[in-house]
Amino acid sequence: MKTILIILSSIAVSACGLKEAKLRDERNIKELITERGPELNQCYEAALKKNPKLESGFITVRADQHIDGSLHSTRLIRGFSASNEILDCVTDKVNSWKTEAPSTRGPVTITWNFSNHSQFADESRNDFEAKFKQHEEDFKSC
């Protein structure tokens, strides 16, 4: 009976330690994405120079992590219409990232939002012009 209690308490301690390690690894990856994620915008901006009407959207990639913390074998999980134009660049960037050596194993998932700010400006300007034309007669009567 005493042996069973010792085994059960060892399992509980191990499970708790594993949970803490996983949370620490997840926190390290979130910090890495916050710190290095903006580099991914360079990929989108380069594609935007070639195609100014490039759509905005999210991209999700998954990378494997070496025991030293470096990321490799990045692949697309979910993308948007412009994903193919920026995927090689995003892959190269993510494959150059490194965090602390992980305590747990498993792939890392990274999601990043790309925004074409000039596209939003054009849409806002078009909306304004359309509204202005709707009320142009009202303005003339003033």
| pLDDT tens digit sequence for 45-102 | 999 999 998 999 999 999 999 999 999 999 999 999 888 889 999 999 999 999 999 9
How many residues are present in the chain?
142
Residue 76: count of CB within 10 angstroms of its CB? 14
User: Which has the closest alpha carbon to 56: 125, 123, 119?
Assistant: 119
Of 11 and 104, the structure prediction assigns the larger pLDDT to: 104
> How much is the pTM?
0.69
- CA dist 34 and 58 (Å) reads 16
The hierarchical CATH code for the domain 21-134 is 3.30.1150
| 82: its two tokens | 């412009």
Please report which residue ranges of the chain form alpha helices under DSSP H: 2-36, 40-50, 83-95, 117-134, 136-141
